[in-house]
Amino acid sequence: MEKKHQFNLSYILMAILGVLILQNLLMGQFRPRVIPYSEFVQAVMDDRVKEVSIGSTAIHGKMKDAGGDEFLFKTVRVDNDLSTKLSEHNVKYSGQVENTFFQTLFSWLIPISIFYFIWFFLMRRMQAGAAGMMTLGKNKAKLVGEHDIETRFADVAGADEAKEELQEVVSFLTEPERYQNLGGRMPKGILLVGPPGTGKTLLARAVAGEAGAPFFSISGSDFVEMFVGMGAARVRDLFTQAREKAPCIIFIDELDALGKARGAGMVAGHDEREQTLNQLLVEMDGFDSRKGVVIMGATNRPEVLDPALLRSGRFDRQVLVDRPDVNGRKAILEIHAKNIKLAADADLEVIAQKTPGFSGADLANVVNEAALLAARRHKDAVGLAELDEAVDRLIGGLEKKNRVINPKEKKIVAYHEVGHALVAALTPGCDAVHKISIIPRGLAALGYTQQRPTEDRYLMSQKELEAKIDVLLGGRVAEKIMFQDVTTGAHNDLQRATDIARAMVSEYGMGETLGLSTYPRNQGPGFLGQSAFGATREYSEKTAAHLDEEVRQILDQRENRVTELIMNKKETLIAVATRLLEKEVLMEDEFMAMVDAGMNEDSGE
C-alpha cells in the first residue's frame, strides 16, 4: 500500500507542476509589457498611447510601438497630476479600483497545496512504519489452503516406513472420531529427522495434502528477532491462527535454529531465543490435540535439541527420513523422470545402483542435469550416457577437458587409477568397477575410478574393510612399481585408508592392542557427518603409541599384499593403462574383458 500511495502522489505532484508551467506559458502571451515611466510619458507626448487605466500605484494601457504595432503595457505611477497631459493628447483614460483578493489567494493556495501533499506523503510513510512496528509480533508463517496443496504420498518415494507412520496423522485429521471414541489422542508433535535433502518438507506437505488440511509453514529462524519478546509474540500469534483454522498442520522447518538446548554456548541464560523456545514449550502444553492441530518439525541435528522439546507430550514421536535404498532411489528417479523424455537405453536401475548415499534432492539434480546435458547435445531424448555423466558431475565435479596435463603426469595418473581398478577387480568382496577415467574433474581430481555396488550394505566384516584399504592403496603401489617413485596424488587415498585402519582398532574391536575395548571419537551432528567440536583423546599416551603402531602394521600388511597382487598382474596393469591413455575413459565391459584375458594367459589357456 505504501508504494501505491507513493506512486499516486508522484503523479499528482507532476500534474500540478505541469499545470503551473502551462499557465505560465499561456499567461505569458497576454501579459502586459513592463516599461519605464519616462518611456510612457514620451509615448503620450508622441500620441502613441490610445487608452490607459490609472490605478493607485500602477498604470495599464494600450499603445503603439515605433512600427505602429499595438501592445499592452504596464508602468509604475509617478506623476499624480497626469490627467492634464492625457487630455491634451486625446488619450482615453479611466480610474481602476484594484482588487488583489484572487491574486493573493492563488499566490498562497499553490504553495500551501504543495506543502499539504508533501505532508500527506510523509504521514503515509510514518503510518506505514508504525504499521511495520505493529506487525513485528505477527508470525511469518506461510498459510497454504487445503485446496492449494497438490502434493500427495504418491509424489514421495524412497520413504515407505515414514509414510506409514505419517498415515496415522492423516487418519486422525480426516476421521478424528475414530480415535476419540476409544479415548485415544494424537501425538502433539511429530519430529522428522534425517539428512538434508531426504524429503522431510515434502512429506509434511504430503500429509497436509492427503488430509485436506490448511498448512502453516515457517522456518525456525523466522521466530527470532532483534527486538526482545518478538519471537514469543510470533509463537503466540501462530498458535492462535492455527486454532482458528483447525484442523490444520503447523510445520516448523529447521527446528534446531529455534530449539537448541538452553544454556548451551550462551553467555547469558536469558536471551531472546530462549524466551521464544520457552513460549513454544508453553503453547505445546497448552493446546488440546483433540482440536485437530498437529505440529510437525524437521531437523537434521536432533542431538542439539532441548530435551524438553523431545519429552512425551511435545515432540513425542520421531520419524526417521533416511537416505533411500536402491529400490527407493529407483522409485525417486522414476518420479523425477516422468516429465523427461528418456531414451530406450536409459536404465534407471543402473543409475540407482551407482548412487548409494544419494538423497532425493541429489537424485532430482541428477535427472535435471542429464536433461540439460541432452539438450546441449541436441538430442531428442535423455540416454544412459547423459544420466551417467550427470552422476559423475555430481560426484566429481565438471570435466576439465581443456586442462593441460603434461604426458608424464597423465601417464602417472593412468597407472594410478588402473592400480585402484585392478585391485578392486581381483579382491573378493569389493564392489565392481564401473568406469575408469583420466579426464580431470572439479578442482583437484586428475582422474577417478568409479565402483558400482550391487546392493546396499549396512554391516561390513573385517575382511571387507581390509579389502577397502587394499583398493585405496592400489594407486600408490602401482606408481611405485612402474616409476620407482611416488607422488602426492595418493594423499586422499592414504588419509581414508588410515581412517579405516584406525577405526578398526579403536572403534570396532578388530585390533590386538585394545582388544574388545573401544575408544570412539566424539560424535558430531548425527546426519551431517562432521564434528562440531574438536575430538578429545580418551586414552593414555602409552595406549596412543600402541594404537598408532598397530595402525601402521595394518597398513604395512595391506601394502605388502597389494604389492604382491600387482606384481603378479603387471602385464595386465600395463595393457589396461596403455588402453586408458588412448581412450581416456574405460567402461566396465572393456576393462573386465582385459582383466579376464590377462588371467587366462596366466593360467595357460
- Transcribe 286-315 into DSSP letters: HS-GGGSEEEEEEES-GGGB-HHHHSTTSS
Q: Quick check: 25 pLDDT over 60?
A: no
Identity of the residue numbered 490: A
Helix (H, G, I), strand (E, B) or coil at 40: helix
Q: Which of 145, 186, 149 is nearest to 167 (CA)?
A: 186
Residue 477's pLDDT band (boundaries 50, 70, 90)? very high
Whether residue 171 sits in one domain with residue 308: yes
Q: Which of 74, 306, 294, 67 is nearest to 190 (CA)?
A: 294
Whether residue 422 sits in one domain with residue 358: no
pLDDT of residue 533: 42
Last residue of one domain, picked from the residues 320, 352, 380: 320
pLDDT of residue 416: 94
The answer to whether 424 and 471 are in contact (CB under 8 A) is: yes
Whether residue 152 sits in one domain with residue 96: no
419 is in an annotated binding site: no
Which has more confidence, 36 or 286?
A: 36
Whether residue 427 sits in one domain with residue 570: yes
Helix axes 160-174, 200-211, angle to 10 degrees: 30
Whether residue 424 sits in one domain with residue 520: yes
Other CB atoms within a 10 A radius of the CB of residue 73 amount to 20
List strands edge to edge, sheet with 58-64: 33-34, 70-76, 58-64, 49-54, 92-95
Helix (H, G, I), strand (E, B) or coil at 62: strand
49 assigned to some structural domain:
yes
Whether residue 455 sits in one domain with residue 381: no
The count of structural domains within the chain is 4
Other CB atoms within a 10 A radius of the CB of residue 266 amount to 13
Helix (H, G, I), strand (E, B) or coil at 250: strand
C-alpha count within 13 angstroms, C-beta hemisphere, residue 33: 11
To 10 degrees, the CA torsion angle through 224, 228, 229, 234?
-30
200 is in an annotated binding site: yes
Identity of the residue numbered 15: A
The answer to whether 417 and 437 are in contact (CB under 8 A) is: yes
Helix (H, G, I), strand (E, B) or coil at 173: helix
Whether residue 413 sits in one domain with residue 468: yes
Least trusted range by pLDDT, from 190-194, 349-353, 357-361, 533-537: 533-537
C-alpha count within 13 angstroms, C-beta hemisphere, residue 291: 17
Last residue of one domain, picked from the residues 70, 101, 132: 101
Distances (CA, A) of 471 to 253, 286, 409, 418, 491: 41, 58, 21, 10, 14
129 is in an annotated binding site: no
User: Alpha-carbon distance 41 to 78, whole Å?
Assistant: 10
**Using CB atoms within 10 A of its CB, is residue 457 exposed (0-12), middle (13-18) or buried (19+)?**
exposed
563 is in an annotated binding site: no
Residue 288's pLDDT band (boundaries 50, 70, 90)? low
Q: Quick check: 123 pLDDT over 60?
A: yes
Residue 157, phi then psi, degrees to nearest 5 = -125, 160
User: Rounded mean pLDDT of the chain?
Assistant: 79
163 is in an annotated binding site: no
The answer to whether 484 and 493 are in contact (CB under 8 A) is: no
Residue 269's pLDDT band (boundaries 50, 70, 90)? very low
Distances (CA, A) of 101 to 30, 109, 112, 368: 21, 12, 16, 77
Q: Quick check: 226 pLDDT over 70?
A: no
429 is in an annotated binding site: no
Q: Which of 164, 217, 195, 406 is nearest to 302 (CA)?
A: 195
Tell me the pLDDT tens digit for each residue of 342-355.
988 888 988 888 88
Which has more confidence, 148 or 426?
A: 426
Residue 462, phi then psi, degrees to nearest 5 = -65, -40
201 is in an annotated binding site: yes
Work out the average pLDDT over 376-402: 83
128 assigned to some structural domain:
no
129 assigned to some structural domain:
no
174 is in an annotated binding site: no
Long-range contacts of 395-404 (CB under 8 A, 24+ apart): 395/450, 396/441, 396/442, 396/445, 396/448, 397/441, 397/442, 397/443, 397/445, 398/441, 398/442, 399/439, 399/440, 399/441, 400/439, 400/440, 400/441, 400/442, 401/439, 401/440, 403/440
What are the cell numbers at 531?
564434528
The answer to whether 483 and 570 are in contact (CB under 8 A) is: no
User: Alpha-carbon distance 604 to 595, whole Å?
Assistant: 14
Work out the average pLDDT over 487-509: 90
Helix (H, G, I), strand (E, B) or coil at 119: helix
408 is in an annotated binding site: no
276 is in an annotated binding site: no
Whether residue 529 sits in one domain with residue 451: yes
For residue 245, give the CATH number of its domain: 3.40.50.300
Q: How far apart are the first and last CA of the chain?
A: 87
Identity of the residue numbered 2: E
**What are residue 399's DSSP bridge partners?**
441
The answer to whether 247 and 295 are in contact (CB under 8 A) is: no
The answer to whether 247 and 148 are in contact (CB under 8 A) is: no
Any catalytic annotation for residue 417?
A: yes
C-alpha count within 13 angstroms, C-beta hemisphere, residue 467: 16
Select which of 417, 479, 550, 559 is catalytic.
417
For residue 354, give the CATH number of its domain: 1.10.8.60
Work out the average pLDDT over 158-168: 85
115 assigned to some structural domain:
no
Q: Which of 315, 323, 321, 362 is nearest to 220 (CA)?
A: 315
127 assigned to some structural domain:
no
Q: Which of 541, 497, 547, 496 is nearest to 518 (CA)?
A: 547
203 assigned to some structural domain:
yes
pLDDT of residue 527: 65
Whether residue 330 sits in one domain with residue 261: no
Q: What is the H or E stretch that residue 143 is in?
A: strand 142-144
Q: What is the H or E stretch that residue 452 is in?
A: strand 448-452
List strands edge to edge, sheet with 448-452: 448-452, 432-437, 585-587
401 assigned to some structural domain:
no
The answer to whether 384 and 343 are in contact (CB under 8 A) is: yes
pLDDT of residue 534: 46
Whether residue 269 sits in one domain with residue 155: yes
Residue 93, phi then psi, degrees to nearest 5 = -135, 160
Residue 471's pLDDT band (boundaries 50, 70, 90)? very high
For residue 550, give the CATH number of its domain: 1.20.58.760
Which residues are within 8 A (CB) of 535 and not within 5 positions of it... i.e. 6 or more apart? 521, 522
Last residue of one domain, picked from the residues 86, 101, 116: 101
Domain that holds residue 506: 407-603
Whether residue 158 sits in one domain with residue 294: yes
What are the cell numbers at 37?
515611466
Q: Quick check: 218 pLDDT over 80?
A: yes
pLDDT of residue 526: 61
- Residue 285 backbone class (left: φ over 0; alpha: ψ -120 to 50; beta: rest): alpha
156 assigned to some structural domain:
yes
Q: Which of 484, 477, 420 is nearest to 446 (CA)?
A: 420
Whether residue 380 sits in one domain with residue 360: yes
416 is in an annotated binding site: yes
Taken in order 119, 121, 127, 133, the sign of the CA dihedral is negative
